Amino acid sequence: MSFSVYAEKTSVEELLIEADAIKSSDFLQLEKFLIEIEAQEADLSSAQQEFYKYLQSYSLAYKGDYEQALRGFESLAKISDQVELSYRARISLANIYAITRDYSKGFKNLHELIANNHNISNDEIRQQGLIIASLIYNTYQKYDLSKEYAGKLLQESPTGRNLCFIKQLQLDSMFQLDELQSVEQELNEGVLLCEDAKENIAAALLKINIARHYLNNSDAMKALEYLEGHSSSIHDTNYPRVIAEYYILFARAKWQLGEQGDAINFASKVLDISDNDRFIKPRVMAYALLHEIKKANGDFKMALDYYEKYSEADKAQINEILAQQLAYNIVEQQTQEKVQEIKLLNKQNEVLTLQQNLAKKEAANDKLAIALLVSILGFIGFWTYRIKRNQIKLRKQAEVDQLTGVSTRHHFYESARALLQSCESSDQEVSFILFDMDSFKKINDHYGHLVGDYVLKEALSASMVCWRKNDLAGRLGGEEFAILLPACDLDKAAQIAEHCRRKISEVDTSESGHQFPISASFGVTSSKYSGYELKELIADSDRMMYVAKDEGRDRVKVINSGIY
**What is the CA 391 to chain-centroid distance, rounded?**
23
Pairwise CA distance, residues 86 & 80, whole Å: 6
In sequence order, the 6+-apart residues with CB closer than 8 A to the CB of 362 are none
The ranges assigned to domains in the chain are 217-298, 322-399, 409-558
How far is residue 428 from each of residues 293, 415, 527, 531, measured CA to CA in Å?
A: 46, 17, 9, 11
Pairwise CA distance, residues 444 & 471, whole Å: 29
Burial label for 543, CB within 10 Å (0-12, 13-18, 19+), is middle
Superfamily of domain 409-558: Reverse transcriptase/Diguanylate cyclase domain (3.30.70.270)
Sheet holding 472-477, edge to edge: 472-477, 480-486, 430-437, 520-526, 556-558
Q: pLDDT (tens digit, 0 to 9) for every residue of the chain, 564 residues total? A: 333 333 344 488 888 989 888 887 788 888 999 998 888 888 888 899 999 999 999 999 888 888 899 999 989 988 888 888 989 998 888 888 877 778 778 778 788 888 878 888 888 888 888 888 888 888 878 889 899 989 989 998 888 888 999 999 999 999 999 899 999 999 999 999 999 999 999 999 999 999 999 998 889 999 999 999 999 999 998 888 899 999 999 999 999 999 999 999 999 998 888 765 567 788 888 988 999 898 888 888 888 888 888 888 777 777 766 666 665 666 566 656 555 665 666 666 666 676 666 555 555 565 666 666 666 666 656 656 565 665 555 555 557 888 888 888 888 998 999 999 989 988 999 999 999 999 888 888 888 888 888 999 999 999 999 999 889 999 988 889 999 999 999 999 999 999 999 999 999 998 888 899 999 999 999 999 999 999 899 999 999 999 999 888 999 999 986 444
β-pair partners for 524:
433, 558
Pairwise CA distance, residues 465 & 501, whole Å: 12
Task: Taking the CA atoms of 232, 237, 238 and 239 in sequence, report the sign of the dihedral they define.
Answer: negative
Q: Is 507 helix (H, G, I), strand (E, B) or coil?
A: coil
Secondary-structure class of domain 217-298 per CATH: mainly alpha
How far is residue 79 from each of residues 86, 148, 282, measured CA to CA in Å?
A: 8, 33, 39
* Nearest by Cα to 139 from 229, 211, 241: 241
Interior angle at CA 128, CA 127 and CA 130, nearest 5: 65
* Secondary-structure breakdown of the chain: helix, strand, coil percentages, each rounded to the nearest 5: 75, 5, 20
Reported pTM: 0.57
Helices (H), 408-511: 409-425, 440-447, 449-464, 490-505
How far is residue 190 from each of residues 56, 163, 242, measured CA to CA in Å?
A: 30, 10, 16
**Residue 564's pLDDT is what?**
46
Contact by Cβ (8 Å): 406, 374: no
- Does 217-298 match 409-558 in CATH topology? no
* Nearest by Cα to 202 from 248, 158, 178, 171: 171
Task: Taking the CA atoms of 173, 285, 405 and 332 in sequence, report the sign of the dihedral they define.
Answer: negative
DSSP-assigned states of every residue in 152-176:
HHHTT---HHHHHHHHHHHHHHHHH
Q: Would you give the DSSP letter of residue 410?
A: H
In sequence order, the 6+-apart residues with CB closer than 8 A to the CB of 297 are 260
Pairwise CA distance, residues 85 & 99, whole Å: 21
Contact by Cβ (8 Å): 43, 13: no
Gyration radius from the chain CA atoms: 29
